Structure 1
Amino acid sequence: MRTSTTDPRPRVLHLTQPVEGGVARVVTDLVRAQLTAGLAVTVACPDGALTTGLRQLGADVRHWHATRSPGPSLVREVRHLARVIDDVRPHLVHAHSAKAGLAGRLAVRGRIPTVFQPHAWSFEATGGAASALARVWERWGVRWASQVVCVSEAERMTGMHAGIRGRWSVIPNGVDLQRFRPASAGTVRAGLRPLRDVDPAAPLVVCVGRLCRQKGQAVLLRAWSSVARRVPGARLVLVGDGPDRDRLRAYAPRSVLFTGAVADVVPWYQAADLVVLPSRWEGMALAPLEAMACGRPVVATDVDGARESLPLSLAPHCLVPPGNPATLARALTELLLDPPLRASLGRQGLQYVLSSHDVRHTAEAVTDVYRHLIGVRPDPRVAPPQHRESIHP
């Protein structure tokens, strides 16, 4: 559905290059909430599963052909975005992640209120000259961001320490608690085809994320050999796809399963005994929050946002240093060998997510940012969403 420039509703244009994974889920949740609140929402992004889902929600989706990283095509991509902006004439632009943040701010250059949400800083993804160049750009480009929205205080501090002097808001990621919820692991496992030849009683560790350097699956595989020796029959499932797929498969032992891209990650969280995210860097990863919403304990690396996404009582058991296979192996082994502890951590994590990371609160906080910038008001013809009091496992 195309948004008309004569539509009296506030017009928001989301820009995003990633079309899968956590950023796609964040964009989808925001678009759903904003459409419900009566905003006119357009999204410019490459074609993929994200565009299909957004159209089903009723969003106006514009094709933006863009590569994941800056390159020779950047000038063409910026010009394309400028044409989309001229056509949509949004009251506000919300750019997600480094590439869309780069192209979007170059296309707008401060002429329209612009929200930039890094979802982890670009200079953390590289080293040497590329990292230095990314820092220079972020210091310069922040002048074209009316507000920088970080998903954790740690992400904001990383930006501040890099010399980025913007107008900041910290809005933690949230989870759709209607979708991510506890279920019987045994029942769910029976319906997952990749597990058909796995012993239903086998200890199951699940890692959900794009197969890439950021998510740290290579570190996890180095840790897994030790885990498999100490926990006979244990299986590790890597859920997702990405540029490191073939390399990871080449040296993964037989106790590691690869699902490829999946349409729905929820059953994999629910099937797990333990969820792991060995990231090298993050802003605030969605996977641990989603796992805890499903009542599953988590082991994650202590990168930006990790401590803020866990109750304090879980940190000693659930956080490990990034890039350290030995420490990661010990944490996984300890929890796999202690079912009562896993159950306790799962319950604590669930209650924490219910109280602190409901996606509705996230969407409301983002709308408050919009309201500050352009005076957004909910459409009076649209009934406000009904809030649930709680969810029980």
Structure 2
Amino acid sequence: MAQGASGQTAPSGIPDIIAPNFKRRLSGVTSTIVQLIPAQRAAGLDIAALGPGLPDGVAKMPCAGLAGLWTRPAGRTARVWHARRNTEMVAGLILRDMLRMPVKLVFTSASQRHHKPFTKWLIGRMDAVISTSQKTAGYLERPSTVILHGIDLERFHPAGDRAGAKRAVGLPADRKIVGCFGRIRRQKGTDLFAEALFAPLKAMPEWIAIIAGRTTAEHKGFEAELRARIASEGLEDRILFVGEHTDIERWYQALDLFIAPQRWEGFGLTPLEAMACAVPVIATDVGAFSELIVEGETGHILPDLKAETMQIAAERLMADDALRETMGRKARRHVEAHFSLEREVRQLARVYDSVAPRTGTAAPR
């Protein structure tokens, strides 16, 4: 084991890279950590999470392990603290600048807005910054490395039998299905999705729509109003609320078309998850969506946030089985070529190596 600056040997069980997660409730950032860490460890990175609310499958460092950061790791010049929230950047600065621990600070930014002065100050003191899209990078006032998220292509894959996939989640095998997945709230555009489909569903009886996701307490009123609006159109048996699911890949496999109707998004993984399952995607131009979807080949990016515009795009794809099949095949190939989780892991490893070079250990696979 390596000797620290104080001459002490670094304690065992303290990872080279720490991914703090200072939010107990599930969020997009937490989901990213949950997905990435097992893949990073499989690639040979010594990384663990720190914080509450993480499932058993994610390697974790106990809070008591923070004392071990006084010493240097065996395989790097310093440990890496990979923050994704302001609170985590603050904690990293305390470790590095106040406690003088040998750690380097990396921050991933997903925001697409101008940062407040305090956040700018924090970002300016990071050793490296990662942006999750070109749009995000444009809001930063310092250089960053753009690393688009990837997804698990073994988990998200096309259904061998789409009719069977529909039956497996309790949906009618003889219907075509358009879906919208995510938390149910105005920001996520769930109401735009429903409104855009009122006319197409009435004109195409072979189609139904599903909305999958959780409604938190503060958005129960929004859901109630949306359900009432759907019922007033006589479509309560055609636009189905199917709840939140941990096996969401099975629901993607049952789809014929996916719509991402968000009014705002930091990054947004749902289009990638759908395309990985060979499902074409219609999406608003928010988050990283325009950097994920190839316009006219794997789906469509909408020029505005109007339900009428979404309706026109939906009607076109809902009416053309051959076009959807072609787009779905291209979508899967596109995600395989550009958005694997392994690609994201490799790119993150290069950032870690740039701030805390390795000291003779092998690079990740």
Range into which the TM-score falls when normalised by the shorter chain = 0.7 to 0.9
- Counterpart for residue 226 of structure 2: 251
Residue 299 of structure 1: how far off its partner (Å): 0.6
Is the CA contact (8 Å cut-off) linking 2:184 and 2:214 kept in structure 1?
A: yes
Q: Per-residue deviation at 1:379?
A: 5.3
Q: 1:228 aligns to what?
A: 201
Contact 2:39 2:341 in 1 (8 A): no
- Aligned partner of 1:32 in structure 2 is 38
Q: Residue 166 of structure 1 aligns with which residue?
A: 142
Q: Which structure's CA Rg is the greater one?
A: 2
In the alignment, structure 2 segments of 5+ residues that lack a partner are 1-8, 71-77, 98-102, 231-235
Between the aligned partners of 1:377 and 1:282, the Cα distance in structure 2 is 39
Would you say the 8 A contact 1:209–1:239 is kept in 2? yes
CA distance in 2, matches of 1:192, 1:369: 41
Aligned to 1:300: 283
AA at the equivalent of 1:46 = P
Amino acid at match of 1:143: G
Shift of 1:264: 1.2
Is 1:366 the equivalent of 2:348?
yes
Match of 1:143 in 2: 124
Q: Which residue of 2 aligns with 1:7?
A: 12
Secondary structure of 2:270 counterpart: helix
Is the 2:185–2:223 contact (alpha carbons within 8 Å) kept by the matching residues of 1? no
For 1:286, the equivalent position in structure 2 comes to: 269
- Kindly report which structure 2 residues correspond to 1:345-356, keeping only aligned pairs within 5 A, or say none: 345-356=327-338
Structure 1 stretches lacking a partner, 5+ long: 64-82, 124-131, 386-393
Paired residues in the alignment total: 331
Q: Aligned match of 1:102 in 65, 73, 86? A: 86
Report how far residue 85 of structure 1 moved.
Answer: 4.3
Contact map agreement 1:42 1:62 (CA 8 A) in 2: no
Question: Secondary structure of the equivalent of 2:116?
Answer: helix
Partners of 1:325 and 1:270 in 2: how far apart? 25
TM-score of the superposed pair, with normalisation by structure 1: 0.76
Please give the TM-score of this superposition, normalised by the length of structure 2.
Answer: 0.81
Which amino acid in structure 1 is aligned with residue 83 of structure 2? A
Q: CA offset at residue 322 of structure 1?
A: 4.5
- Is the partner of 2:267 in helix, strand or coil? coil
Give the distance between the partners of 2:352 and 2:83, measured in 1 at CA.
13
- Cα displacement (A) at 1:176: 1.0
Instruction: Report deviation, 1:87.
Output: 5.9
Aligned counterparts, 1:23-62, within 5 A: 23-47=29-53, 51-52=54-55, 55-57=56-58, 59-62=59-62
Which of 108, 114, 117 is the matching residue for 2:105? 114
Contact 1:314 1:345 in 2 (8 A): yes
Cα distance in 2, alignment partners of residues 357 and 178 from structure 1: 12
- Out of 233, 252, 262, the residue aligned to residue 269 of structure 1 is 252
Report the identity percentage: 25
Matched, 1:93 2:77: no
Is contact 2:179-2:209 (8 Å) kept? Answer: yes
The C-alpha deviation readout for 1:93-148, integer Å capped at 9, x for no partner, is 1122xxxx211122222533222213334x5xxxxxxxx8x532332221232222
> For residues 214 and 44 of structure 1, what CA distance do their matches in structure 2 show?
29
Question: What is the CA–CA distance in structure 1 between the aligned matches of 2:183 and 2:144, rounded to whole Å?
Answer: 28
* Range moving further from structure 2, 171-180 or 228-237: 228-237
SS at match of 1:46: coil
Cα distance in 1 for partners of 2:108, 2:24 equals 13
C-alpha change, 1:373 and 1:280, in structure 2 (3 Å) is same
- The structure with the greater share of residues assigned to helix is 1
* C-alpha distance in 2 between matches for 1:18 and 1:251: 29
Counterpart residue type for residue 18 of structure 2: L
- Amino acid across the alignment from 1:144: R
TM alignment of 1:211-222, pairs within 5 A: 211-222=184-195
1:333 aligns with 2:339: no
